[in-house]
Structure 1
Amino acid sequence: MTEASADTGMRPRELAPGQRTCVWVAGTDSAPPRLVHETSHLLLEAPNFGPDGRSLLLNGAGRLWRLELGDGRAAEPKEVPLHGVPPINNDHVVSPDGRHVYLSGMDGHLYRAPLSGGAGTRLTGEDGSLHFLHGIGPDGGTLAYVAIPRGTGGGPGRLALMPAEGGPGRLVDTGDGHLDGPEYAPDGRWILFNSEAFTTAPGHAQIVRMPAGGGPLERLVDSETVDWFPHLSPDGRFATYLSFPAGTLGHPADLDVTVHLVSTEDWRTPLRSFPLFGGQGTLNVNGWSPDSSRFAFVSYPVS
């Protein structure tokens, strides 16, 4: 979810003078991360792997882009042509069957479009909420999103579920505190997200999960950092998440942050950690490859 998008009509982010977009792919092994694309012309965010494992989908300038991967640097990104879809933010997911991409528009609504491009369909109605997409069930039938009442200027987010074909959503009780990034586990048993329910410190998000059918929250990470956006690998063995400095409010851009790789058997002990300058746009959506061997993220260094 974009930091200012609790009010519709926001503009896409842009690179600051001297700033670059750096798109990285790292593995679950010990090899160093690979810089696959670098540009000082377009701020790209939130990579999803395509279903073939050979491309990434990213948003930038309110549009969706495909970045083809090779053995070296990737080629220049190509726009995925979408019709009937407003400018999008960095909340987008690929359907399990690889046919569609689900998108959050900057108008606060959710959309579905063919992954190869084409006409989009609005899925959400005028229910008084802004909708920020983050997850889709493994059977492709349910979307998990964050609902925020319109006109609140960024009030607490609430977990909501809705049919992937469109229709009314329903709120899920997750207790007190803002949450974000709800995403289904690959087996469909859990929904993971970051929540402030376990603390009274403002903004102190921690990684949690809850049964997909509803139930108490289980805290997966207990840290002094502000932790956002848990993403599980397709085989369920690994996860990534993003840590902000203690005391951070929300998930802003342009901070020293860390991408963590963990085993889902031990969330508290990172297997690998990647410090970088970024935050917003670095790891908002699930960036795992279909074979669970690699994941993508973005940094925004300033010269």
Structure 2
Amino acid sequence: MKVLSFLLLLFFQTAVLAQDNPTGIFRYQTAIGNPQRAGSTHYDAATQTYTLQGGGYNIWFNRDEFRYAYNVVKGDFILTANFQFTGAGTNGHRKIGWMVRESTDAQASHMSAVVHGDGLTVLQWRPLRGAFMRDPQDELFFSKRGPQIIQLERSGKKFIMRVANPGEPLQTVGEKELPELPDSALAGIFICSHDSNVVEEMRAWNVRIVKPVRDNYNAYRGGFIGSRLEVMDVWSGQRKIIHESPGRFEAPNFMPGGKKLLFNAEGSLYTIPVEGGTPEKFVVGDLTELNNDHGISFDGKMLAVSHHRRGLPGGGSTVYVMPLAGGTPTLLTPKTPSYWHGWAPNNKEVLYVAQRDSGVYNIYKMNINGGAEIPLTNNRTGHVDGPEYAPDGKYIYYNANVTGTMQIWRMKPDGSGKEQITFDGYHNWFPHISPDGKWMVFISFPPEIDPADHPFYKRVLLRLMPLTSPGSPRVIAYGYGGQGTINVPSWSPDGRYLAFVSNF
């Protein structure tokens, strides 16, 4: 009889999965626990936003009722999204967030990263099927009405909940091991009204499911994971994935006019419309081993690239320039390794990072019509990288490890007047200046990363900082990436959008 009951339960759960229709990235969506008001799930493809309407008496005691959109995910993962209730609501204990669940059974064990209508923010769980829910470790209160970023990570048997208000770094609000949850589990977003007679509504956007690699993973030996090309409205924070690949691509630039993006993959460059579509190869003469350092001159007429020449020191990376409209690339830097990073506003000079006699990378500039390379830094220790001119030509911004952490600096075009402009515990790389010169975006690696490295597949932040008035950096994107995410200038010509690569 027990075997028959188990088979019936398994059949029922499988039937529920099979009947649910894909919604955005979620393959399944349903009402759990047969609530009186089942609700609905909607997806707006234009904004990649999810709207869930759901009822349910509660997610508590030994059974649950709520609305759920989910996938079956195996192993470790990182779930991140922006969440917001719609309207004032009727019950302060209505709930939204991420849930990892054993099954669609109303009594199933689960781990939930929850925000309540009254701002209560907690990690809560049911350890076994039919068991009563456990009280949370900590109880924090955030904004009642504003959007929040909620992240739930699974690492082995441990679950970690992190939360942030927009613009702030994520902070941990709870950690718990739940060995009873199977390796393959349901993972998705939910809403519960906490009132059987009421349907509440929520929105979720910037929804990302990431399958991270181990911390010491070597992408060059273990292989590359998937890549997403994202375009973000810098001022609203809304992100949109326009292209995905199971392999590696990197470093998007906006083309002149802002209608297409340029990025590199497998040693070549490709263009793609900003709305998405099929990438088209962009021919760069006979160069077929390009890396992720490429960019377009301020006047939109010239392209600079870095290309590997086999058998030369440092992998043989050298800088070439050519007309963006097409032509034969011209070699600028016979010495290797040299990695392009910026154009001068006069469209006649390029900035690059090179390793010369000292064995340390320094910043150089060179006229594209010929002449000697001019050193702008002369470090014997540490590391400098990512030089980029401000549009008015008054400063060159770059990142440097002078004091033990990688920070953003700037200097005058002749290399004088060096000054540090970020001061925190992150390792900050690749400053990119907005077209109007008022803002700077950069990528921040966590403190445990080697300050001289910008590796693949790490939990990173994109941060925005004002340059013409006092202000501190604020977070505009929480991502999984690093190498290739934002190595090159990636603002749209109108200063509204930013393009970058994340991994999954």
TM range (shorter): 0.7 to 0.9
- Residue 238 of structure 2 corresponds to residue 29 of structure 1: no
Q: 1:136 maps to what in 2?
A: 343
Call closer, same or farther: CA 1:192–1:14 in 2, change over 3 Å.
Answer: farther
Gaps in structure 1 of 5+ consecutive residues: 1-11
- Residue 397 of structure 2 corresponds to residue 188 of structure 1: no
Distance 1:222 1:147 in 2: 25
Deviations 1:104-161 (A, max 9, x none): 1123211112324442221223x4x4211101101101111111028x8xx4211111
What TM-score, normalized to structure 2?
Answer: 0.52
Aligned ranges 1:245-260 → 2 under 5 Å? 245-249=446-450, 250-260=453-463
Q: 2:324 maps to what in 1?
A: 115
Q: Contact 1:93/1:103 (CA < 8 Å) preserved in 2?
A: yes
Q: 2:423 maps to what in 1?
A: 222
Q: 1:159 maps to what in 2?
A: 363
Distance 2:222 2:256 in 1: 29
Q: 1:241 maps to what in 2?
A: 442
Out of 234, 257, 278, the residue aligned to residue 52 of structure 1 is: 257
| Aligned residue pairs, count | 276
Q: Contact 1:123/1:167 (CA < 8 Å) preserved in 2?
A: no
Q: 1:97 maps to what in 2?
A: 299
Q: Contact 2:491/2:499 (CA < 8 Å) preserved in 1?
A: yes
Q: 2:286 maps to what in 1?
A: 84
- Residue 377 of structure 2 corresponds to residue 168 of structure 1: no
Q: 2:36 maps to what in 1?
A: none
Greater helix share, 1 or 2? 2
Q: Contact 1:124/1:167 (CA < 8 Å) preserved in 2?
A: no
Q: Contact 1:85/1:111 (CA < 8 Å) preserved in 2?
A: no
Compare relative contact order (CA 8 Å, sep 6+) and give the higher one, 1 or 2.
Answer: 1
Q: 2:56 maps to what in 1?
A: none
Aligned ranges 1:36-47 → 2 under 5 Å? 36-40=242-246, 42-47=247-252
Larger radius of gyration: 2
Deviations 1:161-212 (A, max 9, x none): 1002343211123555310001111100100000012x0x3xx210010111
Following TM superposition, by how much is the alpha carbon of 1:216 offset from its aligned partner in structure 2, in angstroms? 2.8
Call closer, same or farther: CA 1:61–1:219 in 2, change over 3 Å.
Answer: same
Q: Contact 2:284/2:329 (CA < 8 Å) preserved in 1?
A: yes
Distance 2:356 2:412 in 1: 25
Out of 139, 145, 150, the residue aligned to residue 352 of structure 2 is: 145
Out of 274, 279, 282, the residue aligned to residue 69 of structure 1 is: 274
Deviations 1:266-286 (A, max 9, x none): 675234421111000001001
Distance 1:189 1:46 in 2: 25
Distance 1:14 1:80 in 2: 28
**What is the CA RMSD across the aligned residues, in angstroms?**
2.2
Q: Contact 1:47/1:285 (CA < 8 Å) preserved in 2?
A: yes
Q: 1:6 maps to what in 2?
A: none
Deviations 1:235-265 (A, max 9, x none): 1111110000113121011111111122224
